[in-house]
Homo-oligomer: A and B are copies of this chain.
């Protein structure tokens, strides 16, 4: 699956390929379990259509969390593209990240349930819990990137130190951004939600581009 791995000396710890496959599995399952949080409404005669419309917070929460996990999966692949070897530190930091990813269906369900009709205090709590999860997720990503930053011997020839440093800083910035958004949740939860959505869209476009040189090196090494 990965031509790099074949030319690397084998280590006895889990190979990069199996770590990727396992991570892909957890991402794919977490993203698909989101739907289980949308329950079929028990509609009275003729009321189903309205009941389905009133489920909009569930659809919204599903969409935001699906995109969030999807973007995190893209970021995870971006990170793994720089990894040549997996040591114990990377392995368990990755496991911690997967633990947070696997947790996302729970705050998503909270959001869907309490975004409307259960009072402002509960709305704040649900939006705040979602934000806390995103903070922990960003921390996990920061730990992963900074581990690569401190261990250049684990990276591939694509591993331009500047890119890895930049990604570490970006992940750390995400902690701050989600901390602000979570703080806002306790004042104006809807504004907070809008910031969450904006942050996800930002992640889609803000991925640091690889310097020309590194990309060119990648091209030639495989030809």
Known contacts A74-B91, A78-B12, A158-B12; A35/B121 CB under 8 A? no
Residue ranges of A at the interface with B (Cβ–Cβ < 8 Å) = 1-3, 6, 8-15, 17-18, 20-22, 24-38, 40, 43, 45-49, 52, 62-63, 66-67, 70, 73-74, 77-78, 81, 88, 91-92, 95, 98-99, 102-103, 105-106, 109-110, 113-114, 118-119, 121-122, 124-126, 128-129, 158, 204, 210, 215, 218-219, 221-223
* Nearest 8 pairs of A and B residues by beta carbon: A25-B28, A46-B121, A48-B125, A29-B32, A48-B122, A49-B125, A9-B219, A14-B77
What CA separation (Å) do A3 and B109 show in the bound complex?
42
What CA separation (Å) do A30 and B148 show in the bound complex?
29
Known contacts A18-B24, A45-B119, A81-B12; A103/B62 CB under 8 A? yes
Question: Do the beta carbons of A40 and B118 come within 8 Å of each other?
Answer: no
Chain B residues within an 8 Å CB radius of A114:
43, 48
Chain B residues within an 8 Å CB radius of A215:
11-12
What CA separation (Å) do A95 and B46 show in the bound complex?
34
Chain B residues within an 8 Å CB radius of A32:
25-26, 29-30, 33, 102
What CA separation (Å) do A103 and B158 show in the bound complex?
37
Residue picked from A29, A45, A67, A222, most chain B C-beta under 10 Å: A29
